[in-house]
Amino acid sequence: MSLRLRLTIIYTALLSAVILLLSIVMYSMISVVMVNQRDSRLERVANTIIDNLWVDVNGDFQLNRSALEIDAGYKYQIWSTEGQLQINSEGGDQFNASLDPNAFEQGQTLYSEVNHEESEYRVLTVPLDRGSERIGWLQVGLIMSAIQYTQQLMIAVFTAASAFSIVVVALVGWLITGQALEPLSEIARITRKITNSNDLSRRIPVKSAQNDEISDLILTFNQTLVRLERLFNTQQRFLADVSHELRTPLTVIKGNVGLMRIMHTFDEESLKSIESEVDRLTRLVGDLLLISQAETGQLPMMMKPVYVDDLLFEISEELKILSEGEHRIIIEDIKPMIILGDRDRLKQVLLNLGSNAVKYSPEGSVIRLSLKEKGHWLQIKIQDEGYGIPQEDLKFIFERFYRADKSRTRTKENGGFGLGLAISYWIVRNHGGRIEVESEENVGTIFRVWLPVSQSEIVTTPLP
């Protein structure tokens, strides 16, 4: 069953229930009011009769009929206690039998409903007393057909009005629901098109200017599409980058093997080149595995207390070896500090930042390392006086395979894959920290690594 039909049925059923309830309440209230009015009218008539009634010297009842102003619908009878009809109302059908013979037995004022010749009467029986002696009975009756007619009319009117309103509400509900659900059908239509065409660049147009749930849904859906498209593109680019990186060493290996086959000899030079390309491939595969683990938070980490000042000394020594004396590597600021982390991974981050500083700065320049504590955070700074990173590249620098200045960085001796910073970024993230970069072309670059001083700070303290 469609949502539209379901909603229409629910509206209509609810409205029908409300109308039914209201009709019952109104019918009962009007009926009660009418019955009360009728009884009080019967009482008034009975009082008028009693006011104009007397007993003559012979003990007979006498009634001054000329003083009575009673509507034609009323019948009245005066009965003696012996059961003889003393006075009967005039005009219309006459009843010689008592309006309600059973009422006498009750011995008190009584309202009753009785049938006479297929008509229903409301009868008021009043005892007539002289002093403490009972001398007779007065019975006043009123035909009920008027009330019954009104009640039947009410039922007919209520039924017709209810049926009409239910039909109107069902129709209007059907139209309004259709209109309200139209954008959903549109969303379903466009989503189907996206699925069929695999075109993630499509968006669902937001038609209504209102800030309603539907436009909210469309906006959220469009955001999801943007994200999916970005992920999809990143994945595509990643595949293209990996294939590209794999192709170069494989071509070199193939070329060298071909050369040796033609020469029918093991050429030392070719073997060395093959070996270096195999090393490069092994590094690439290792880096790829590492980054995929780090990105998904599955990188195994041995969290232990790490003496960061010690680690920084170690890094500075290794950088000196790497730079082969071409750069001045100095530790500017340092103090003993311990954090909880994976020492090997942190060393990998710092070596990567340090070796980049060596790679991308000219001979004779200075590379400064420092370690400071700022609030609940520890900051490791690696600053060089190198070529710098162009501003437009800065925001992409931590992306996989991103290399800022292709012409400069893609030389054989640099030989990076553009994965080092991405790996460092994720390792630091997995420690609850963050890397920041600041750079100016031909002035230098500063990388700052922020790490929480204690593990409990990772979640709670915002970065400065």
Residue numbers at the binding site for ligand ADP (CB under 6 A): 352, 356-357, 360, 384, 386-389, 397, 402-405, 409, 416-422, 445
**Least gap, CB of 321 to ligand ADP (angstroms):** 18
CA dist., res. 395 & res. 363, Å (int): 27
Contact in structure between 141 and 123 (CB atoms under 8 Å)? yes
**Least gap, CB of 389 to ligand ADP (angstroms):** 5
Between 154 and 288, CB nearer to ligand ADP: 288
CA dist., res. 367 & res. 327, Å (int): 7
Nearest Cα neighbor of 326 from 394, 240, 409, 386 is 386
Between 139 and 355, CB nearer to ligand ADP: 355
Nearest Cα neighbor of 332 from 284, 299, 368 is 368
Between 86 and 445, CB nearer to ligand ADP: 445
**Least gap, CB of 384 to ligand ADP (angstroms):** 5
CA dist., res. 119 & res. 327, Å (int): 123
**Least gap, CB of 398 to ligand ADP (angstroms):** 8
Contact in structure between 183 and 214 (CB atoms under 8 Å)? yes
Between 151 and 409, CB nearer to ligand ADP: 409
Maximum distance among all alpha carbons in the chain? 164
CA dist., res. 384 & res. 317, Å (int): 16
DSSP 223-270: HHHHHHHHHHHHHHHHHHHHHHHHHHHHHHHHHHHHHHHHHTS--HHH
Between 313 and 401, CB nearer to ligand ADP: 401
Between 219 and 394, CB nearer to ligand ADP: 394
Between 140 and 315, CB nearer to ligand ADP: 315
Q: How far is CA 214 from CA 5, 43, 205, 362, in A?
A: 19, 66, 11, 58
Name the residue number minimizing CB distance to ligand ADP. Answer: 416
**Least gap, CB of 340 to ligand ADP (angstroms):** 26
Contact in structure between 39 and 124 (CB atoms under 8 Å)? yes
Between 98 and 445, CB nearer to ligand ADP: 445
CA dist., res. 100 & res. 431, Å (int): 100
Q: Which long-range contacts (CB under 8 A, 24 or more apart) does 143-149 make?
A: 143/73, 143/119, 144/38, 144/113, 144/119, 144/120, 145/119, 145/120, 146/73, 147/31, 147/34, 147/35, 147/38, 148/120
**Least gap, CB of 445 to ligand ADP (angstroms):** 4
Q: How far is CA 366 from CA 251, 315, 353, 354, in A?
A: 38, 15, 14, 12
Between 403 and 431, CB nearer to ligand ADP: 403
**Least gap, CB of 424 to ligand ADP (angstroms):** 7
**Least gap, CB of 202 to ligand ADP (angstroms):** 34
| Residue showing tokens 């909603």 | 7
**Least gap, CB of 301 to ligand ADP (angstroms):** 20
